[in-house]
């Protein structure tokens, strides 16, 4: 098959969607398919800034959320033009859209469309404070979601909650394929821990908790900082390392200063995906402290899967898809979300018993190879594409 993967967001960029596209492309190509990617990044820069992003800033000043909706609709328009150009010269068998507005854009072509749903567009906008709950803008986003789910040939979701959400809102029964990783790129390299610590400026005897998360509220990134003082009482060399950027950064820095732990908190900013595996290798433990926020739960976290594949024992909060991929005490630890004491105990537990961490990490790697390989996922996507092509 000749497949077009499409998104109204930037590609490549630092984040889970970009990783998903790159990894899915590799998996599908390993099965002999031809795969192209079209994204908002393919729009000329002057249009991205002047036509799509610029007016949104002004509109949001007039009414919160109006600029956000404007941006999504303009992205849809630009993607529609790009997709038609691709299709005119491409001979594609299927388009796999990665979001609601891209689905609406792709439906204007003559190529069958399958949609992958990675989250909750409307509720995520509310959670981030981008749109107001019960506003006209929120209603418009929800209507776009419903239209896209009902109109596409097949819906793929990355966890069961999203699948249930779509069925509840529209009656459409989706296909759940959990997120996945490139198991050849993300593999244990713990034996190179000292090398990577020296490269990235950490002490060899630091006890490092690595948090590979965008610094946004729903990712619960404030909680490792809140939990750190109790850990430092028992392990003074403990350090929390964050890789990511976001609106919570200043608040996190202030909280670390207030608690007197600033010298044991490191924020390295955005880290290229090709380098992130080195941070998993230099860490003693990985943390994915996601929380429940405004109706939004973590899906099958790619960061959690990468940690499990890379040989770092994982502590995660028991929310959303994290509860599906981690078996508590078998291949990772699950703690109660937003519970500072519970997270502190988990952090102390794995520092006090490195052998338990090694056991969890080994079991996690085995699970990743068995259930979350990009090769296995590509086979499942292929089956959905073929199913969609049989529909009129």
Helices (H) and strands (E) in the chain, counts: 17, 12
CB 243 within 8 A of CB 286: no
What is the C-alpha to C-alpha distance for residues 219 and 298, in angstroms, rounded to an integer? 8
Phi-psi region of 228 (alpha: psi -120 to 50; beta: other; left: phi over 0): alpha
CB 200 within 8 A of CB 271: no
H-type helices in the chain, by residue range? 16-30, 45-47, 54-62, 66-90, 100-106, 121-128, 136-151, 160-170, 193-200, 222-234, 249-258, 273-282, 302-309, 322-325, 340-352, 354-371, 374-389
The angle subtended at Cα 44 by Cα 118 and Cα 122, nearest 5°, is: 25
pLDDT computed for residue 179 by the predictor: 87
Residue 45 CB coordination number (10 Å): 8
Which residue has 């803008």 as its token pair? Answer: 137
pTM: 0.77
Q: Burial code of 259-287, b = ≥16 C-beta within 10 A, e = fewer? A: eebeebbbbeeebebeebbbbbbbbbbbb
128-to-53, 175, 208, 217, 262 alpha-carbon distances in Å = 18, 27, 29, 7, 26
pLDDT computed for residue 295 by the predictor: 64
Pairing relation of β-strands 285-288 and 265-267?
A: unpaired
Half-sphere exposure of 117 (CA within 13 A, CB side): 31
What is the C-alpha to C-alpha distance for residues 117 and 7, in angstroms, rounded to an integer? 11
DSSP letter assigned to residue 219: G
What is the C-alpha to C-alpha distance for residues 73 and 56, in angstroms, rounded to an integer? 11
What is the C-alpha to C-alpha distance for residues 115 and 150, in angstroms, rounded to an integer? 10
What is the C-alpha to C-alpha distance for residues 324 and 178, in angstroms, rounded to an integer? 9
Q: Which of 213, 218, 199 is nearest to 242 (CA)?
A: 213
What is the C-alpha to C-alpha distance for residues 95 and 174, in angstroms, rounded to an integer? 17
pLDDT computed for residue 161 by the predictor: 87
Rounded to 5 degrees, φ, ψ at 145 are -60, -50
CB 268 within 8 A of CB 200: yes
pLDDT in tens, the chain (392 residues): 999 999 999 998 877 889 899 999 999 999 999 999 999 999 999 999 998 888 888 888 889 889 999 999 999 999 999 999 999 988 999 999 999 999 999 999 999 999 999 989 998 888 878 899 999 999 999 999 999 999 999 999 988 889 999 999 999 999 999 889 888 888 999 899 999 999 999 999 999 999 999 898 889 999 999 999 999 999 999 999 999 999 999 999 999 999 999 999 999 999 988 899 999 999 999 999 999 876 666 667 889 999 999 999 999 999 988 998 999 999 999 999 999 999 999 999 999 999 999 999 999 999 999 899 999 899 999 999 999 999 86
Enumerate domains of the chain plus CATH numbers.
2-180+373-389 (3.40.50.2000), 190-371 (3.40.50.2000)
Rounded to 5 degrees, φ, ψ at 238 are -65, 145
What is the C-alpha to C-alpha distance for residues 345 and 315, in angstroms, rounded to an integer? 11
């Amino acid at each position: 098959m000749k497949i077009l993967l499409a998104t109204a967001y930037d590609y490549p960029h630092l984040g889970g969607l970009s990783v998903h596209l790159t990894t899915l492309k590799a998996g599908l190509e390993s099965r002999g398919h031809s795969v192209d990617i079209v994204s908002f990044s393919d729009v000329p820069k002057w249009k991205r800034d002047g036509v799509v992003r610029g007016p949104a800033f002004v509109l949001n000043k007039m009414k919160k959320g109006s600029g956000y909706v404007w941006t999504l609709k303009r992205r849809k328009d630009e993607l529609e033009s790009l997709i038609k150009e691709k299709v005119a010269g491409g001979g594609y068998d299927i388009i796999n859209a990665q979001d609601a507005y891209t689905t609406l854009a792709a439906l204007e072509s003559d190529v069958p469309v399958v949609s992958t749903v990675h989250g909750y567009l409307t509720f995520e906008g509310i959670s981030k404070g981008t749109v107001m709950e019960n506003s006209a803008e929120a209603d418009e986003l929800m209507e776009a979601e419903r239209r896209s789910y009902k109109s596409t040939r097949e819906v793929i979701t990355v966890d069961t909650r999203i699948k249930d959400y779509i069925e509840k809102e529209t009656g459409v029964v989706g296909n759940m394929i959990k997120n996945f990783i490139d198991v050849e790129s993300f593999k244990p390299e713990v034996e190179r821990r000292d090398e990577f610590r020296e490269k990235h400026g950490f002490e060899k005897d630091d006890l490092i908790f690595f948090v590979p998360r965008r610094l946004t509220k729903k990712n619960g990134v404030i909680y490792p900082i809140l939990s750190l003082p109790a850990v430092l009482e028992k392990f003074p060399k403990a350090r929390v390392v964050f890789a990511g950027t976001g609106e919570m950064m200043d608040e996190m820095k202030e909280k670390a200063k207030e608690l007197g732990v600033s010298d044991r908190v490191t924020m390295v900013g955005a880290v290229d995906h090709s380098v992130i595996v080195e941070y998993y290798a230099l860490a003693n433990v990985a943390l994915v402290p996601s929380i429940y926020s405004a109706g939004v739960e973590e899906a099958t976290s790619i960061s959690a899967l990468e940690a499990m594949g890379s040989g770092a024992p994982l502590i995660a909060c028991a929310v959303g898809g994290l509860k599906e991929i981690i078996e508590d005490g078998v291949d990772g630890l699950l703690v109660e979300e937003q519970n500072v004491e519970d997270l502190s105990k988990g952090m102390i537990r794995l520092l006090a018993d490195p052998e338990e961490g090694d056991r969890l990490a080994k079991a996690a790697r085995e699970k990743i190879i068995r259930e979350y390989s990009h090769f296995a996922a590509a086979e499942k996507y292929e089956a959905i594409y073929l199913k969609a092509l049989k529909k009129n």
